[in-house]
Amino acid sequence: MTGSHDFYGVIAPVLTPFDEQGNPDTARFVAHAKWLLADGCTGLAPFGTTGEANSLGVEERIGLLDALINGGIDPKLLMPGTGLCALSDTVAVTKHAVERGCGGVMTLPPFYYKAVSDDGLFAYFADFIERVGNDRLRVYLYHIPPVAHVGFSVELVGRLIKAYPETVVGLKDSSGDWDNTKALLDAYPGFTIFPGSEIFLLDGMRNGAAGCITATGNVNARMIRNVYDNWETDQADALQAEITAVRQTIQERPMIPMLKAIVAHYLNDPQWARVRPPFLPLGAGEAEAGIAELSEQFGFELKAA
């Protein structure tokens, strides 16, 4: 861990539960977020890819963020996803997050138009930062090319850091490509970098990462946190191997429906299995097979707070 940053450790991109009408279920959302902090998360990234955030509208994000903070969660622990397709929507959600005191925001590049240039993306972020116009803004770049198909080159990250050293303070690398994460860690010591999966947690820590921001933090934060807390000990490699194996078992099935099925199972709350289209819930048999595998192989269970 190098440099100074407000976020570190194990951060979960909070799952978004939906009610019977398919609208966000605020009460379950806030309860889950609180449980995640009790279970070992050191911060929360609501409205990430895992949170089905790109199926949530501007007003829905603002309403859910308010619910977390009004529900008693320290906004300094929150790094909400605020990167929508359009500059103006991105600015609206970000302004709200900064005004509510969030520790940072995690921001996608504009992702509809493809094959755009680094110059164009730089211009977008320059415009974004100027329009938000708040010294308290802390941006964590969200690099997830397998989904967004638009990402941040190592060079573009450097240009943004140089131009906005107080504002562009970190990056989540969900490329799934350790070589890319390593290149960023080597190029920008002091910049706060989170691999987007706990599979890279130990390698990351040994190379200056700040922790990880990971989907499976929604169900396995305690074990992942244990690796983070013990990364300099003799146990580290064995602990890492175990969380890697759990992750690989979970991701054998579609990640978001599987995570929700796990929560639904252990809370005995079938509503948690709902997803918003274009996702579909797993078949009951499929989910239960995965949960049985986790339980048998790893003694995995999710304990309600």
Residue 60 binds its own copies, judged by CB under 8 A: yes
Contacts of 245 (CB under 8 A, 6+ apart): 297, 298
Does 20 interact with its own copies (rule: CB under 8 A)?
no
Name the nearest CA neighbour of 290 among 262, 268, 260.
262
Among the listed residues 70, 88, 248, 297, the single contact to its own copies using CB under 8 A:
88
Return contacts of 21-25, CB within 8 angstroms, 24+ apart: 22/274, 22/276, 23/60, 24/56, 24/60, 24/63, 24/64, 25/271
Kindly tell me which residue out of 27, 85, 154, 304 binds its own copies, with binding defined by CB under 8 A: 85
Rule CB under 8 A: is residue 67 a binding residue for its own copies?
no
Residues that bind its own copies (rule: CB under 8 A) add up to a total of 41
Written as one letter, the residue type at 141 is: L
DSSP state, residue 195: E
| Structural contact between residues 276 and 55, judged by C-beta atoms closer than 8 angstroms | yes
Catalytic residue among 50, 90, 172, 216: 172
Interface with its own copies, residue 242, by CB under 8 A: no
Whole-Å CA distances, 283 to 253, 254, 289 = 11, 11, 10
Of positions 66, 99, 127, 301, contacts its own copies by CB under 8 A: 127
Least distance to its own copies, CB of residue 202, Å? 29
Select 147 or 154, whichever has its Cβ closest to its own copies.
147
Is position 140 annotated as part of the catalytic site?
no
Q: Strand, coil or helix: what is 78?
A: strand
Distances (CA, A) of 108 to 147, 151, 194, 261, 274: 11, 8, 15, 27, 25
d(CA 90, CA 108): 9
16, 42, 49, 94: which one is catalytic?
Answer: 49
Binder to its own copies among 19, 112, 165, 283 (CB under 8 A)? 112
Nearer to its own copies, 123 or 241 (CB): 123
Stretch that binds its own copies, among 145-153, 173-181, 222-230, 290-298 (CB under 8 A): 145-153
Check if 8 is active-site: no
Residues designated catalytic: 49, 112, 142, 172
Residues that bind its own copies (CB under 8 A): 22, 49, 54-60, 84-89, 92, 109-114, 116-117, 119-121, 123-124, 126-127, 146-150, 276-280
